[in-house]
A and B are shown apart, each in its own frame.
Chain A
Amino acid sequence: MSWTEICAYDSLLPETGVCALVDGVQVAVFRTFDGELHALGNLDPFSGAYVLSRGIVGTRKGEPTVASPLHKQVFSLVTGRCLGDESVSVPTYPVRVNAAGVVEVTLEAPGHEAPAMPGYAPVSLSASRVPASAGG
């Protein structure tokens, strides 16, 4: 699997997203309040605009979500499925933090389950803390 480095984990503000260009594909990467990372396709399937990384992050019945900034459709950050319209979904991509504390994304094996993130333990809300595994 080839992983692409995106940015330092610490540069991600909790409960926001950023967009990365990975082999020409726009990937929206989100950091939620609990330190988890999620990666979705940046294309909003309803509007045809590449904007999902700029949506508001939140939860619906405990499930982490992002709302399209254009027409507010809500997508699961875990499965990529649109919560208001089960027939629509966006791709999800594996995302992890490497030993240097850098976020990485790969386009391979996009699944509907959040991938295991070897070497990464969730961190607390404090953005200043380096992930434990990256302390060395």
Chain B
Amino acid sequence: MNRIVVVGYGPTAHRLVETLTSKGFHGSVTVIGEEPRPAYDRVHLTSYLSGTSADDLTYAVPDGVVTRLNTRVTGIDREARRVTLADGGTEPYDVLVLATGSTPFVPPVPGAEHAFVYRTIEDLDAIRAAAKDAEQGVVVGGGLLGLEAADALRGLGLKTHIVEMSPWLMPRQVDEGGGSVLKSHIEGLGLTVHTGAGVQEIVHDDGEVSGLRKPDGTVIDAQVVVFSAGIRPRDELARQAGLEVGPRGGIVVDSGMRTSDPAIYAVGECALAGGMIYGLVGPCNTMAEVAADRIMGGSATFEGADMSTKLKLLGVEVAQFGAMDGALDVTYMDPVAGVYKKLFISDDARTLLGGICVGDGGPYTALRPFVGKELPASPSDLLFAGAGAALDLPDEAQVCSCNNVCAGDIRTAIADGATEVPAIKACTRAGTTCGSCVPMLKQLLEKSGVEVSKALCEHFAYSRAELFDIVRVRGITTFSELIAQHGQGRGCDICKPAVASILASLHNGHVLEGERAALQDTNDAFLANIQKNGTYSVVPRIPGGEITPEKLIVIGEVARDFGLYTKITGGQRIDLFGARIEQLPEIWRRLVDAGFESGHAYGKALRTVKSCVGSTWCRYGVQDSVGMAIALELRYRGLRSPHKIKSAVSGCARECAEARSKDFGVIATEQGWNLYVGGNGGFKPRHADLLAKDLSTDELIRTIDRFLMFYIRTADRLQRTAAWIESLDGGLDYLREVIMEDSLGICADLDAQMEHHIATYADEWAATLEDPEKLKRFVSFVNAPGVPDPSIVFASERGQIKPVMSR
């Protein structure tokens, strides 16, 4: 039992091999996949079209697992226990797992071979290419995947039609009432819905598609047609090998996921378990885990699965849980708001059987765990918004259906010290697949009694965001005032710089003015970056990385004259190391005279806006990325924020400026600019997500203004934009609503705040040089101002200085 071969490398195969390796399986594991890459996240496949890369979607291959990609299995020799491959090779097994998945169902109508399907990254590439010269598109299938595909076509700029055979959309998830609310939502977005309609043929001229003919003879004009009308299990290998298959397809398995050959398992969409084919990620993951357990000698069983779903399609929440009928039902419908909610209950009106939600997924989150149990409140109360929040879940109630995690598991994790949602995710896996149960995790955490302190430190019982509001609303201008009225004690190294940053963000005075000087970290106090030996480094601003030879020479001369170690930074500027405190004003006098200003490399502030050379020089560039980077850097220079902010602008999709590793990154398109937010390098690298695409220059700047100001207002101390966006309820969608649709009505305020920052910006080094009071602090020894610190000693390395520590 030590050679496992897995045929097919989709998400279910991934879960299987991941479970085997994490449980310490000792044999060899080989996965054979016909696609060119390992398994990837199909739940978020559509995000590929809005900028998420294939690499981002692809799961890491677990250590020790051998993969054979681009490889098709052509046969199974059950007697010899080996599979044959298309290239003629073979792969021996002790245990074989079929995870061959499914193919999209394409009805046998004339011209169907010229239509697309929506399943793999290659499918999406083909659709994107075809959409380039198309105006209209049709999706055949108004189910879950069909609407997903329709959303994708709409995102590609096509006028989109949906053709659904049933009398209403999503017939497997909602009833007629829900379907009609859903339809009006979708039509409100400009899509055309044809329900109760079939397909006669795909109209084409020698392969060039021009429309879809319905059985009534009418033709919907379209240049792109996508079939998304259900799946068919891929059971052909099993059939050939003589394994038992269902009458309508699917490899028959027992509750241990074993096929009619005990050495062969089948999991995922190709498996027929209890007479059912499961196409949802949750049940497929469970099958994989059951098979892994069995392979390792366990006795886990798959007893069917909850087919509940909750998703947001085309901006509408659609959810279904439990049964879709019952003796009694209670319906809440608000056609104005586009909300439809229905609960099915037993004939004695005591037991919840299931429910349907369109436009408001709230009841799903709150009530799904109560399916089969006594109703926790009256049905009408349960259907009103927010009603579910106060319900107490039984321990055995399932919270995360993707990973089969119950309320009791979450409570155990909380009791064991997971006091934040990310910690609960990490130790239970709940909320890590589709994320729809994350609000539930938060509620369980809140109700667990674990006091999650948001206090900044012992001096303030408030979070940074709350302090920001207090300072803003009360018009507070000093730390003393704030701590006297809203804190206790005298502050510390945590709250002082945080408040200094808030005061700077809101009022933008000099960071060393009066009492504020005592609040700053040494970097801000000396407007330079402290190094390990107590010396400082100096970084003049070089906006966009563009510099004249004359200015470059000045930097070289200053570095030479003061004997500074010189290095190019990752942010396209130059760092000069080894300056003693008393040298800083002299160094800066020369830099300011030559036209340089502070680069704020020392502050929690905008650092740099990198750029590639852009359309001015580059034969590929489509916009002037250098000009844009300079404009952005000059606009936001000196902006104090909860953490450092980095940015970059790329002049074309080749992305030479690495904009997607930045807090806000801009990538030029033929039509304008794409804006990405929430990226960073560092300890936990993260690619930025697409916030908006094809923005005009004005739209781009307005959106960045608001993004930065909303971040400054609401983020925690030392929270970078990535973690901040993750912490927002509703994430990127919510951010988009706030800063692009003004859902909170604060955009005018954010705009005004940014205008104030820009209007009041002044170079803090130039201002310091003009103020003898501020300059007084730039000495190593207060009683011997001219004496350099004798503890600072340098050696030489590669022709430059390096610090020598005394011990």
Contact = CB atoms under 8 A, between A and B. Distances in A.
Interface of A: 4-7, 11, 13-16, 18-22, 26, 29, 32-33, 43, 47-51, 54-62, 64-65, 67, 69-70, 72, 74, 125
A33 B496 contact: no
25 contacts: A14-B515, A15-B515, A19-B781, A20-B783, A20-B784, A21-B784, A21-B787, A26-B781, A26-B789, A29-B782, A32-B490, A47-B532, A50-B789, A50-B791, A51-B530, A54-B525, A54-B534, A55-B522, A56-B493, A56-B497, A56-B518, A58-B492, A59-B489, A59-B490, A69-B522
A113 to B, nearest CB: 21
Contact of A57 (B480, B518, B523, B807): B518
A29 B782 CA distance: 10
Given A4-B783, A6-B782, A56-B496, A16 B491 contact: no
Nearest to A6: B783
B805 interface: yes
Contacts of B776: 11
Given A50-B789, A51-B522, A55-B522, A74 B493 contact: yes
Interface of A (DSSP majority class): strand
Q: List 7 A-B pairs, minimum CB-CB distance, nearest first.
A: A58-B492, A67-B493, A69-B522, A56-B493, A15-B518, A49-B534, A18-B782
A49 B782 CA distance: 18
B493 A7 contact: no
A69 B532 CA distance: 10
B392 interface: no
Residue picked from A65, A67, A74, most chain B C-beta under 10 Å: A67
A19 B532 contact: no
B530 to A, nearest CB: 6
Contacts, number: 104
A74 to B, nearest CB: 7
Given A58-B496, A61-B489, A67-B493, 14 more contacts: A4-B783, A7-B783, A13-B517, A13-B518, A26-B781, A48-B805, A49-B805, A51-B522, A56-B496, A57-B518, A58-B489, A67-B492, A72-B493, A125-B480
A13 B517 CA distance: 9
Contact of A59 (B491, B518, B806): B491
B26 to A, nearest CB: 44
B244 interface: no
A15 B806 contact: no
A4 to B, nearest CB: 7
Contact of B490 (A5, A15, A26, A43): A15
Contacts of B493: 55-56, 58, 67, 72, 74
**In the complex, which of the residues B776, B789, B806 has the most CB atoms of chain A within 10 Å of its own CB atom?**
B789
Contact of A61 (B458, B526, B532): B458
B658 interface: no
Contacts of A70: 530, 532, 534
A25 B525 CA distance: 24
A7 B497 contact: no
B317 interface: no
B533 interface: yes
Interface string B520-546: 111101100010111000000000000
Nearest to B581: A54
B807 A19 contact: no
A100 to B, nearest CB: 15
| Interface hub of B491, B776, B782 (most chain A Cβ within 10 A) | B782
Contacts of B789: 26, 50
Contacts of A15: 490-491, 515, 518
Contacts of B784: 20-21
Contacts of B807: 48
Given A48-B807, A59-B489, A21 B497 contact: no
A33 B789 CA distance: 28
A20 B480 CA distance: 28
B753 interface: no
Contacts of A22: 783
Contacts of A48: 805-807
A61 B492 CA distance: 10
B458 to A, nearest CB: 7
Given A56-B497, A56-B521, A49 B533 contact: yes
A33 B490 contact: yes
A20 to B, nearest CB: 5
B783 A56 contact: no
Contacts of B583: none
Interface in B767-807: 776-777, 780-784, 787, 789, 791, 805-807
A47 to B, nearest CB: 6
Contacts of B791: 26, 43, 49-50
B458 A16 contact: no
Contact of B782 (A19, A47, A59, A60): A19
A72 B496 CA distance: 13
B501 to A, nearest CB: 13
Nearest to B518: A15
B782 A7 contact: yes
A60 B783 contact: no
A64 B526 CA distance: 23
A16 B521 contact: no
Contacts of A43: 791
A131 B322 CA distance: 78
B492 A16 contact: no
A86 to B, nearest CB: 19
Given A49-B532, A60-B458, A69 B518 contact: no
A25 B789 CA distance: 11
A118 B776 CA distance: 29
B62 to A, nearest CB: 37
A6 B779 CA distance: 13
A58 B522 contact: no
Contacts of B519: 56
B781 A20 contact: yes
Contacts of A5: 783
A60 B518 contact: no
Contacts of A69: 521-523, 530
A15 to B, nearest CB: 4
A65 B492 contact: yes
Contacts of B787: 21
Nearest to B807: A48
Nearest to B784: A21
B497 A51 contact: no
B502 to A, nearest CB: 16
Nearest to A71: B532
B535 to A, nearest CB: 9
